[in-house]
Chains A and B, each alone.
Chain A
């Protein structure tokens, strides 16, 4: 096993009868990063995650998870991989704690260790109060959090999350983001599929856009990460002003690439330093600026471009 290898997908194809669910997907998810998997409904995201999750064999192409082929050695992959499916079901009659302990037993964790781990995870996902209630009383968001805890029971170094944020309230969403960032920081490889682009932009380091069973683009989302490299890269910012015409005029005057929106302007500058300089200049010019924030439109733009031909 090579934990530094992350997830590598090359030319994967999978058909169900005459329906081609995944045509040709290439993907790479690196350790220490959160990779987003985005695409319209029916693009083949869930099928791809099933193949990565050792449940489905690809017709063609190769998959390596931590350097291991999930078709040849599913057991080894399972030992290092956590999988959180979309629409996670639980054993309704069991208590929340028992669910996690059962999963622990399924991963061959000794009962005492499994109990301790369950307690830890319940704290992490804030389900400690509900630990001894039956799992069926959980709300959708709470179930989703239990699903995340379930995927983390055996401390996996690779995590596959299918729509982890769906049904979560705003606080849980922020907490989820923090948990995922922490896991990435500790060296885990995370692949997250979602529809909510702005949210992914906050969490993910890079995004793979999938449409009609093909991976169409790989997008670098540097804004969320605070690493040094991102400071030099071109970044997008969104500026809102009380006086939009004056703002536009000033931007044109300073030679900044702009993209006007209905109530704001998106600008493209070379890195964080340039952005802060631009803000200083605009304020110096006396333009009444109300907001100057990183624009998450980049992923949106790429996504819309990639999925234009949707039928």
Chain B
């Protein structure tokens, strides 16, 4: 393998693509689609309070990855067997170029084109950054990981095009394996959940029966309380709402199905979406507002990794902090409207508090993406190795159906 050889192939590939395929058109359509998605997202969140950039960033990056996984396999999936069919591969193999030159050159050319797609989407990421809420470092990490994922997909297509004789087979195999990474890992994870689940007695922190009898006398004793009823009856003295306090929390032993996702979370880590999403999240506590797909995926994966902890067996959320916050600015409010507003604010704060606690717990879970990153790296290196071996000449064992020249 030599730099000169790799460059010769990469230049040859790029030159051919520039002239034959319609990828400038595809790039244009790509830009318009991402633009439309970004525009719609902005339209949905532009009048929201707080950092609107996080939603925009999340949605754009999610779509870039999703569409990228549709476009990128086509860059390499027919690269080698297509050349064979045209009778131009053997003429390169009889020159001083090595099989590694050919494979790596083709990979770099395809990757350069997928980076062009990434570049075409970058204005929308800049837009998200300007809108605020996303750190530049995070964004760069996410884009780097995304570019890496695309390179691995390129390598995957290259391997299949080296392995199969017919271009249609390699294209199908490439898309199938991309689908296996995307959906297969999630399906495998979901199947693993009931398999790994155990029935066991656990200590759960719940709201005491006494609290419910006090606030909702009509309802009978509960050992498994759900969400407190929306129509809240008489608010007890000294409480702003019918929310339990720390004093209302008790521990009970309960037989429960425990999902041991901490044993199978790595299945999710193999998913390219999880890898990018987990490297990407804006991780802004208290600003969990709209549709943030990457944030959701990342949270899901980390929740799975965390598994069942004493924290997740806590079903009693005392309202300590909001009371303090509200007390801090408790000027006498006469107006009914203000009173309502205050109550609403408090409710939002309560919800955010719960989310904040969850977020803090999730942030303590080690990141999931480095595992997937490493795994995809191994896949990428492995596929390149297979492709290089497959192009090595003189051939000793010729697989059925493949041509040489």
A interface residues, Cβ below 8 angstroms from B: 16-17, 50-51, 53-57, 70-71, 74-75, 78-79, 81, 83, 85, 87-94, 98, 102-103, 105-108, 134, 150
Asked whether A74 and B393 contact (CB < 8 A) given A89-B87, A93-B15, the answer is: yes
Please pick, from A78, A85, A102, the residue contacting B87 in the complex, using a CB distance under 8 A.
Answer: A85
Please pick, from B19, B91, B394, the residue contacting A93 in the complex, using a CB distance under 8 A.
Answer: B19
Whether the pair B393, A55 counts as a contact (CB closer than 8 A) is yes
Whether the pair A54, B394 counts as a contact (CB closer than 8 A) is yes
**Would you give the shortest CB distance from A183 to chain B, in whole angstroms?**
18
Whether the pair A78, B404 counts as a contact (CB closer than 8 A) is no
Whether the pair B394, A108 counts as a contact (CB closer than 8 A) is no
Chain B residues near A57 (CB-CB < 8 A)? 394-396
Asked whether A54 and B20 contact (CB < 8 A) given A81-B94, A88-B87, A89-B91, the answer is: no
Chain B residues near A55 (CB-CB < 8 A)? 90, 93-94, 393-395, 404-405
B58-111 with Cβ < 8 A to chain A: 86-88, 90-98
**Would you give the shortest CB distance from A1 to chain B, in whole angstroms?**
14
Asked whether A56 and B15 contact (CB < 8 A) given A79-B96, A83-B94, A93-B20, the answer is: no
A85 to B94, CA, bound (A): 11
Chain B residues near A89 (CB-CB < 8 A)? 86-88, 91
Whether the pair A91, B394 counts as a contact (CB closer than 8 A) is no
Complex A-B, nearest 8 residue pairs according to Cβ-Cβ distance, in ascending order: A89-B87, A106-B95, A93-B19, A57-B394, A105-B8, A89-B86, A93-B16, A93-B20
Chain A residues near B219 (CB-CB < 8 A)? none
**What residue of chain A has the Cβ atom nearest to residue B17's Cβ?**
A93
Whether the pair A107, B96 counts as a contact (CB closer than 8 A) is yes
Chain B residues near A78 (CB-CB < 8 A)? 94-96
Whether the pair A106, B8 counts as a contact (CB closer than 8 A) is yes
Asked whether A150 and B8 contact (CB < 8 A) given A74-B394, A108-B96, the answer is: no
Asked whether A54 and B16 contact (CB < 8 A) given A85-B91, A106-B97, A108-B4, the answer is: no
Whether the pair B404, A102 counts as a contact (CB closer than 8 A) is no
Could you pull out 13 A-B pairs where Cβ atoms are within 8 angstroms? A50-B405, A54-B93, A54-B394, A56-B395, A57-B394, A57-B395, A57-B396, A75-B96, A89-B88, A93-B15, A94-B19, A102-B12, A106-B95
Whether the pair A94, B405 counts as a contact (CB closer than 8 A) is no
**What residue of chain A has the Cβ atom nearest to residue B85's Cβ?**
A89
Whether the pair B396, A53 counts as a contact (CB closer than 8 A) is no
B329 lies within 8 A of chain A by Cβ: no
Chain A residues near B8 (CB-CB < 8 A)? 102, 105-106
**Would you give the shortest CB distance from B217 to chain A, in whole angstroms?**
82
Whether the pair A90, B88 counts as a contact (CB closer than 8 A) is yes
A239 to B16, CA, bound (A): 56
B239 lies within 8 A of chain A by Cβ: no
A53 to B86, CA, bound (A): 18
A78 to B95, CA, bound (A): 6
B398 lies within 8 A of chain A by Cβ: yes
Whether the pair B15, A85 counts as a contact (CB closer than 8 A) is no
B364 lies within 8 A of chain A by Cβ: no
Chain A residues near B90 (CB-CB < 8 A)? 53, 55, 85
B400 lies within 8 A of chain A by Cβ: yes
Whether the pair B398, A56 counts as a contact (CB closer than 8 A) is yes
A186 to B8, CA, bound (A): 31
Whether the pair A53, B94 counts as a contact (CB closer than 8 A) is yes
Whether the pair A71, B394 counts as a contact (CB closer than 8 A) is yes
Chain B residues near A51 (CB-CB < 8 A)? 394
**Would you give the shortest CB distance from A66 to chain B, in whole angstroms?**
15
Please pick, from A56, A88, A94, the residue contacting B91 in the complex, using a CB distance under 8 A.
Answer: A88
Whether the pair B95, A16 counts as a contact (CB closer than 8 A) is no
B20-48 with Cβ < 8 A to chain A: 20
Chain A residues near B12 (CB-CB < 8 A)? 91, 94, 102
Chain B residues near A150 (CB-CB < 8 A)? 91
**Would you give the shortest CB distance from A220 to chain B, in whole angstroms?**
30
